[in-house]
């Protein structure tokens, strides 16, 4: 039992105390007395902060939906390969999921920045379609966000395809279903919880993403995470109450997304619990968790 | 779903496209790091090693590398020392707490780094414990950041070797609890614990948001240094980025090897 | 009294569910007693209480008159074999066997000698330096058995030791366990949910249900005269009859019990010649064959007679007549074979 003491202390000090302090900070008056919702009200009334919230949510939804679409198709495709090839492919995409945050932003600057290789090439070749592409804009951010969402979506989704038994497909075809009908009536409904669950993780991942946006656009683009970051510079919080309130808003959205994932995971487990060996599913969930957090890595 | 021996051309092309998409940024960074100059051509005209040379002559880079290294090492070691007994006690003696623990452990996933940083700064920039901007605060934050990996890793290792039964067997054969832990539990969970330790290490090595917000002005880790350098010399920055990536790659390869060996060993 | 192990009024609750309800049990030295029952009946919990891996809420455990109840597992001198073997995967077969002696600070020589003896005993001399995961399930369980014998425990506990093994290996290993147990006169408690296993290995069987020992006795006694409906159903394919069913078949009953049992092999199928002039003490009943299945040395008929479904086992000796489904038969029932069952829990 003594072994628990340092653990509990550290968790309290660095996990619960900060969250609590942030929460109370956001609803307490500046002089430290009395309850107030002023900061939340002022955020809602401020076009600037509301724009940040809107931008963040839009960019997260966009990049998650695009990411999941690519991830879904790729995950299906990957199950069609022989195991040896499949493992190689998964390893490669897992590898690229390490390439996130600052280095990723930098790579895109090399490719598509103002003096990027492709930017200059396109200009030289006269491809005007790409002429007005701007990496430091909304489209640019979505492009980079999608890049780190795809491997994550792929790694989270592909195990679910193994939950769909060949025998179900065979049974369906013997009962007269076409492949398309099978996917529409059985395959996709079974995948649905996994898809929504993954969507939750991707959304939370994009909402919380800071490093990529910071390295790419600095403080120039209005995102919630960036706004919070700029209210907190170095070791002082410029407007501590406002920063806390914004942080609480951000945490609420990601928390909701993670809860969605949790519910969906339970639902997904219900489909597969009966024929998956305990051992195997345990290992899979471990793997899931590991890849889950590898999201934006910093 | 069993995979067919050979995938159709459609799937092959699809995967080719995906891999190209995923590897392109990496490739570009790699080429840029070796290019003397690279403008308006598909491939660089002239190659050079001077950026890598410059990187290793750069005292600030070496400093940052060293800082990253020891900060990660301290955090991971601390985590190991604290988590090992704690997870052991919870898994073996307090299984009822496990669902609560799951919630605690999932929190760092659900709370983004920016948010955690705001809370940490608020708590520790004034009041009795003023450690804002110091490595202590950062190490604390790092501990929480790797909590999920360490907890899951240790817990799964304990479950895989069915620690409860091994412990019972050892105790019935006359071993004291501590002795049993050291002789039969520790050696068996070690490979799994090493894997999660290395994983945690690689996660921390790539950490940016906590570092930047908590100690950005005072302590330079490799990631912070990279951001600073990005705006000065692109080539040098890409040399750093690519070296970082190769390092992480090597680490994850070791990880995979270890993971495979452990699974093989335990399953037999 | 030469009670070697004595359990007195053991009680154990998990939350609000009573797992063990005032269990008393005495075991003689050298005896092999089986705790038999369905999963969740408390048999494994009882075993764990004896080993000290679980604490009873109340009651006492005495081994050679010494109270073990408060002792930690390591001081009880009790050996245990687990269903999942629980071999230490980081140690070789030999090191596993020597582990207990090492904890008792035995000398290297003693350890070597003892492990060689045991390797020979379980016939694994060529595997002494192998690791557990390189052995088959049966071999692993033999190592586990040897490991627990190495320290010469006063009592050996076997917790479903055969359940994880294939049917064939299971049969071989259970004979092997029984031989070793007899050779060392090792007082043993064997836990299983398999009645056939219990019947073959035990000196005595205790049938448990819902935390209570409902009946105990030598295997033959349990098989031939179950006292309650639960035991009758659990011990074999007894036909369990309600009072009204029994009335219909036997016409009259000279007792007040509510439930009865009759063994499938005690019912005879009569051929035409025997019909009508069978022994006077037997009751004849007309019935229809519902299904026939050949179970190797016996043929099992399900017969519907007077609205009662009866299982009838006939020796498959090649001479007995084979009846098809839906054919009419005449059954001979011996009233003296009808067992009266006590009320559940009485």
- Chain C residue nearest residue B181, CA to CA: C88
State both tokens at C247: 């009335």
Length of chain B: 268
- The CA distances from residue C264 to B210, C136, C157, C311, in Å, are 76, 39, 34, 5
B interface residues, C as partner, C-beta within 8 Å: 161-162, 165-166, 168-176, 179, 183-184, 187-188, 265-268
Q: Write the Ramachandran bin of C284: left for phi over 0, alpha for psi from -120 to 50, otherwise beta.
A: beta
Say whether B86 and A244 touch across the interface (CB within 8 A).
Answer: no
In chain B, residues with a C-beta closer than 8 Å to the C-beta of C53 are 168, 171-172
What is the pLDDT, as a whole number, of residue A287?
39
C276-288 pLDDT, tens per residue?
666 777 888 888 9
Which of A147-151, C95-99, C293-297 shows the lowest mean pLDDT across its residues? C293-297
Residue C53 makes CB contacts below 8 A (sequence gap 6+) with: B168, B171, B172, C73
- Chain B residue nearest residue A281, CA to CA: B156
**Is residue A258 within 8 angstroms of chain B, CB to CB?**
yes
Q: How many CA within 13 A on the CB side of residue B44? A: 19
Say whether C99 and B161 touch across the interface (CB within 8 A).
Answer: no
Max alpha carbon distance in chain C (Å)? 79
**Is residue A17 within 8 angstroms of chain B, CB to CB?**
yes
Q: What is the pTM of this model?
A: 0.81
Say whether C88 and B174 touch across the interface (CB within 8 A).
Answer: no
User: Which of B30-34, C179-183, C296-300 is the most confident on average?
Assistant: C179-183
Say whether B268 and C134 touch across the interface (CB within 8 A).
Answer: yes
Look at residue A115 and tell me whether its pLDDT is greater than 80.
no
Q: How confident is the model at residue A128 (pLDDT cuts 50, 70, 90)?
A: low
- Chain B residue nearest residue A223, CA to CA: B114
- Chain B residue nearest residue C75, CA to CA: B174
* C221-260 exposure pattern, b = at least 16 Cβ within 10 A, e = fewer: ebbebbbbbbbbebbbebbbbeeebbeebbeeeeeeeebb
State both tokens at A65: 């939906």
Residue B172 phi/psi, 5-degree rounding, is -65, -25
- Interface test mutation site (partner C, options B96, B163, B173, B190, max chain C beta carbons within 10 A): B173
Q: Are C314 and C299 in contact (CB under 8 A)?
A: yes
**Is residue A298 within 8 angstroms of chain B, CB to CB?**
yes
Taking the CA atoms of A16, A19, A21 and A23 in sequence, report the sign of the dihedral they define. Answer: negative
What residues of chain B, 110 to 129, have a C-beta less than 8 Å from chain A?
110-123, 125
Write the residue in B173, B265, B267 that is nearest to C99 by C-beta.
B173
Look at residue B122 and tell me whether its pLDDT is greater than 90.
no
d(CA B226, CA B55): 11
In chain C, residues with a C-beta closer than 8 Å to the C-beta of B172 are 51-53, 73-74, 76, 78-80, 148
CATH entry 3.55.50.30 includes domain B44-267: no
What residues of chain B, 68 to 97, have a C-beta less than 8 Å from chain A?
82-83, 85-86, 88-90, 93
- Interface test mutation site (partner B, options C15, C78, C82, C90, max chain B beta carbons within 10 A): C90
**Is residue B259 within 8 angstroms of chain A, CB to CB?**
no
Look at residue B266 and tell me whether its pLDDT is greater than 50.
no
Look at residue A204 and tell me whether its pLDDT is greater than 50.
yes
Helices (H) then strands (E): counts for chain C: 9, 18
Look at residue C326 and tell me whether its pLDDT is greater than 80.
yes
- Interface test mutation site (partner B, options A3, A115, A261, max chain B beta carbons within 10 A): A3
Q: Are C41 and C52 in contact (CB under 8 A)?
A: no
Mean pLDDT of A11-18: 92
CA distance C148 to chain B (A): 7
Residue B3 makes CB contacts below 8 A (sequence gap 6+) with: A79, A80, A81, A82, A83, A86
What is the pLDDT, as a whole number, of residue C188?
96
Q: How confident is the model at residue C268 (pLDDT cuts 50, 70, 90)?
A: confident
Say whether A235 and B217 touch across the interface (CB within 8 A).
Answer: yes
What is the pLDDT, as a whole number, of residue A286?
37
State chain C's mean pLDDT as an integer. Answer: 89
Say whether C72 and B162 touch across the interface (CB within 8 A).
Answer: no
d(CA A141, CA A152): 17
The secondary structure element, H or E, covering residue B177 is helix B177-180
A85-114 pLDDT, tens per residue?
888 888 888 778 777 888 888 888 888 887
CA distance C74 to chain B (A): 4
Residue listed under structure tokens 């036909």: C239
Domain ranges of chain B: 44-267
Do chains B and A touch, with touching meaning 3 or more CB–CB pairs less than 8 Å apart? yes
Against chain C, the chains showing at least 3 CB pairs within 8 Å are B
Mean pLDDT of C244-262: 84
C-alpha C277 chain-centroid distance: 41
Q: Which CATH number fits domain C3-226: 3.40.710.10, 3.40.50.300, 3.20.20.60, 3.40.640.10?
A: 3.40.50.300
What is the pLDDT, as a whole number, of residue A113?
82
Query: Which CATH class name applies to A44-293?
Result: mainly alpha
Say whether B172 and C132 touch across the interface (CB within 8 A).
Answer: no
Do chains C and B touch, with touching meaning 3 or more CB–CB pairs less than 8 Å apart? yes
SS3 label, residue C276: coil
Mean pLDDT of C47-65: 93
**Is residue B207 within 8 angstroms of chain A, CB to CB?**
yes
Domain ranges of chain A: 44-293
- Chain A residue nearest residue B248, CA to CA: A98
B237-247 pLDDT, tens per residue?
888 888 888 88
Q: How confident is the model at residue A271 (pLDDT cuts 50, 70, 90)?
A: low
Q: Are C31 and C91 in contact (CB under 8 A)?
A: no
Say whether C88 and B172 touch across the interface (CB within 8 A).
Answer: no
Mean pLDDT of C226-249: 87
CA distance B91 to chain C (A): 16
Q: How confident is the model at residue A251 (pLDDT cuts 50, 70, 90)?
A: very high
- Chain B residue nearest residue C53, CA to CA: B168
* Order of all β-strands in the sheet with C155-159: C78-81, C155-159, C188-192, C32-36, C204-209, C212-217
Q: How confident is the model at residue A235 (pLDDT cuts 50, 70, 90)?
A: very low
Domain ranges of chain C: 3-226, 235-341
C135-184 pLDDT, tens per residue?
999 999 999 999 999 999 999 999 999 988 888 899 999 999 999 999 99
Say whether B22 and A92 touch across the interface (CB within 8 A).
Answer: yes
Look at residue B263 and tell me whether its pLDDT is greater than 70.
no
State chain B's mean pLDDT as an integer. Answer: 85
* CATH architecture for residues C235-341: Beta Barrel (2.40)
């Amino acid at each position: 039992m003594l072994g628990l003491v340092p653990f509990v202390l550290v968790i309290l000090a660095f996990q619960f105390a900060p969250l609590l302090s942030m929460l109370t900070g956001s609803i307490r008056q500046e002089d430290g007395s009395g309850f107030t919702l002023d900061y939340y009200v002022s955020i809602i009334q401020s076009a600037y902060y509301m724009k940040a919230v809107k931008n963040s949510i839009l960019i997260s939804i966009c990049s998650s939906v695009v990411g999941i679409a690519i991830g879904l198709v790729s995950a299906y495709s990957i199950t069609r390969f022989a195991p040896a090839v499949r493992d190689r492919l998964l390893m490669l995409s897992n590898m690229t999921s390490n390439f996130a945050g600052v280095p990723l932003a930098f790579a895109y600057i090399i490719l598509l920045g103002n003096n990027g290789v492709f930017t200059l090439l396109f200009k030289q070749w006269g491809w005007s379609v790409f002429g007005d592409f701007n990496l430091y804009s909304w489209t640019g951010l979505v492009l980079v966000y999608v890049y780190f969402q795809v491997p994550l979506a792929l790694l989270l989704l592909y195990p679910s395809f193994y939950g769909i038994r060949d025998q179900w497909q065979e049974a369906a075809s013997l009962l007269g279903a076409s492949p398309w009908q099978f996917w529409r009536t059985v395959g996709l409904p079974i995948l649905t919880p996994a898809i929504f669950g993954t969507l939750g993780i991707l959304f939370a991942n994009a909402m919380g993403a800071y490093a990529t946006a910071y390295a790419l656009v600095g403080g120039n683009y209005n995102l919630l995470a960036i706004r919070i970051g700029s209210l907190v510079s170095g070791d002082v919080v410029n407007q501590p109450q406002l920063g806390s309130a914004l942080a609480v808003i951000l945490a609420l959205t990601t928390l909701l997304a993670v809860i969605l994932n949790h519910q969906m995971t339970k639902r997904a487990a219900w489909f597969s619990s009966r024929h998956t060996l305990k051992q195997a599913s345990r290992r899979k969930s471990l793997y899931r968790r590991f890849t889950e957090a590898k999201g934006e890595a910093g | 779903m069993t995979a067919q021996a050979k995938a159709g051309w459609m799937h092959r092309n699809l995967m080719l496209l995906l891999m190209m998409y995923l590897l392109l940024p990496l490739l570009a960074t790699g080429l840029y790091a070796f290019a003397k100059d690279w403008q308006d051509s598909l491939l660089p005209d002239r190659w050079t090693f001077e950026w890598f040379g410059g990187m290793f002559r750069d005292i600030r880079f070496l400093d940052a590398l060293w800082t990253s290294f020891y900060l990660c090492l301290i955090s991971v070691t601390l985590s190991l020392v604290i988590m090992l007994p704690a997870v052991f006690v919870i898994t073996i003696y307090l299984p009822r707490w496990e669902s609560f623990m799951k919630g605690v452990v999932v929190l760092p996933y659900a709370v983004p780094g920016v948010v955690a940083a705001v809370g940490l700064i608020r708590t520790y920039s004034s009041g009795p414990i003023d450690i804002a901007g110091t490595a202590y605060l950062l190490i604390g934050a790092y501990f929480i950041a790797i909590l999920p990996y360490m907890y899951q890793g240790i817990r799964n290792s304990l479950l895989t070797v069915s620690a409860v039964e091994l412990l019972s067997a050892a105790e019935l054969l006359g071993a004291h609890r501590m002795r049993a832990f050291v002789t039969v539990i520790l050696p068996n969970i070690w490979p799994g614990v090493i894997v999660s330790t290395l994983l945690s290490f690689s996660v921390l090595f790539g950490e940016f948001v906590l570092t930047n917000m908590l100690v950005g002005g005072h302590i330079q880790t490799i990631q912070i240094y990279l951001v600073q350098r990005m705006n000065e010399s692109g080539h040098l920055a890409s040399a750093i980025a690519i070296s970082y990536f190769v390092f992480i790659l090597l680490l994850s390869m070791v990880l995979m090897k270890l993971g495979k060996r452990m699974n093989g060993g335990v399953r037999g | 009294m030469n009670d070697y192990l004595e359990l007195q009024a053991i009680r154990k609750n998990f939350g609000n569910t009573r797992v063990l309800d005032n269990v008393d049990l005495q075991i003689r030295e050298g005896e092999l007693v089986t705790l038999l029952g369905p999963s969740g009946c408390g048999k494994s919990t009882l075993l764990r209480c004896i080993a000290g891996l679980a604490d009873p809420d109340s009651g006492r455990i005495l081994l050679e008159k010494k109270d073990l109840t408060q002792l930690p597992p390591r001081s009880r001198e009790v050996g245990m074999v687990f269903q999942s073997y629980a071999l230490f995967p980081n140690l070789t077969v030999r090191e596993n066997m020597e582990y207990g002696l090492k904890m008792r600070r035995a000398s290297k020589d003693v350890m070597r000698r003892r492990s060689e003896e045991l390797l020979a005993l379980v016939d694994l001399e060529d595997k002494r330096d192998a690791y557990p995961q390189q052995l088959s399930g049966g071999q692993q369980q033999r190592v586990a058995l040897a490991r627990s014998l190495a320290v010469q425990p006063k009592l050996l506990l076997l917790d479903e030791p055969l359940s994880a093994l294939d049917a064939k290996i299971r049969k071989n290993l259970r004979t092997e366990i029984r031989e070793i147990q007899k050779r060392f006169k090792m007082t043993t408690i064997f836990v299983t949910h398999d009645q056939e296993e219990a019947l073959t290995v035990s000196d005595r069987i205790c049938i448990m249900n819902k935390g209570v020992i409902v009946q105990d006795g030598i295997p033959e006694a349990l098989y031939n005269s179950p006292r309650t409906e639960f035991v009758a159903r659990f011990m074999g394919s007894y036909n369990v009859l309600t009072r009204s069913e029994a009335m219909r078949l036997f016409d009259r009953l000279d007792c007040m019990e509510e439930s009865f049992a009759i063994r499938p092999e005690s019912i005879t199928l009569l051929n035409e010649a025997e019909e009508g002039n069978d022994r006077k003490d037997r009751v004849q009943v007309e019935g229809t064959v519902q299904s026939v299945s050949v179970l190797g040395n016996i043929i099992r008929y399900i017969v519907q007679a007077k609205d009662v479904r009866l299982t009838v086992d006939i020796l498959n000796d090649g001479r007995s007549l084979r009846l098809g489904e839906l054919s009419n038969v005449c059954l001979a029932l011996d009233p003296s074979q009808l067992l009266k069952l006590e009320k559940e829990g009485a």
